[in-house]
Amino acid sequence: MNDPVVVTCALTGAQQGKEANPNLPEQPDEVIAQGLEAWRAGAAILHLHARDAEGRATADVGVFRRMVEGLREAGCDAVINLTTGGAVAGLPLEERIRAVPELRPEIASFSVGGGALLGRFDGRAGEWVRDRFVPLFSSHAELEQVARTFLEHGVRPELEVYHAGMLNNLRALLDRGALAEPLFVNFVTGIPGEITEPSVKNLVFLVDGLPPGAVWQVSSIGARNHFRMLGAIVALGGQVRVGMEDNVWIAPGELASSNGQIVEKAVRILRELGFEPATPAEARARLGLRGLEGEGS
């Protein structure tokens, strides 16, 4: 039998909002409702971003706490994965990582690189669009400092890797004893700019560069890649990430009605390929997580 596949649902992000899809959740009650639906559909991990009352990205610990408590009060035992990726929204580093020591989620995201030049040239308009540099970390010492903050508080980092060069940083942190194993790596692909394009060839190259024993998944950004990469990912031994942070479409020309609908489709594809979605307990065992003890303290 094939090992069960850990499905992460990234419910909402730091960039696009209801202008991209009116069903994208922004406020805590919306995120809680769609998180519960995604969990019931088979997501073992819920990846959460926070928005303020105007729908803008925030690192407000109170907003994160409200979402986590709402999920737990409804009986949801999914692994909670909080973002520290507010750099794309211009949030300072101290704010971005505050939820790690204050809420101690089982997982939080951690982008292991200096930054990324994003954007694409629109030939029709004759100009660059979304053209900007997103600074992540200014030095290896800063990367190590953040990695040790995760380690100190028993939080497993979801190591965000945008291109192969970031694997060098990951290995350096591992050599320094700043990362606990098993590593949990998320290959982010498909964003225009200095980000790996989603293809089987690129994925094989990235996976070959991982330290032994690492657990990995892929963010396939955009409607064109979101579902079609799933077969290659699980065939190579990876886990699955889907959700409206990465893609707001359920099919060509059809906007997703919810994150739950996206998870249902992903699980259907997995089962057609002979896999079952992992339960939260199985996900915790695979990633060596501590469980719910100490969460939110």
Q: What is d(CA 276, CA 167) in angstroms, rounded to the nearest whole number?
A: 29
Name beta bridge partners: 158: 109, 184
Q: Are the beta carbons of 217 and 240 closer than 8 angstroms? A: yes
Q: How many residues does the chain have?
A: 297
Q: What is d(CA 34, CA 9) in angstroms, rounded to the nearest whole number?
A: 10
The two tokens of residue 98 are 């505050």
pLDDT for the residue 2: 82
pLDDT for the residue 85: 83
Fold category of 7-287 in CATH? TIM Barrel (3.20.20)
pLDDT for the residue 297: 62
Considering just the CA atoms, what is the radius of gyration of the chain in Å? Answer: 18
pLDDT tens for the 297 residues of the chain, in order: 689 999 999 999 988 899 999 999 999 999 999 999 999 999 999 999 999 999 999 999 999 999 999 999 999 999 999 999 877 777 888 888 999 999 999 999 999 999 999 999 999 999 999 999 989 999 999 999 999 999 999 999 999 999 999 999 999 999 999 999 999 999 999 999 999 999 999 999 999 999 999 999 999 999 999 999 999 999 999 999 999 999 999 999 999 999 999 999 999 999 999 999 999 999 999 999 999 887 876
Q: Is 284 helix (H, G, I), strand (E, B) or coil?
A: helix
pLDDT for the residue 273: 96
pLDDT for the residue 65: 97
Question: Which residues neighbour 144 within 8 Å (Cβ) at sequence distance 6 or greater?
Answer: 173, 176, 178
Model-wide pTM > 0.85: yes
pLDDT for the residue 1: 60
pLDDT for the residue 191: 93
Q: What is d(CA 245, CA 13) in angstroms, rounded to the nearest whole number?
A: 5
Quote the strand ranges of 136-210, DSSP E: 156-161, 184-189
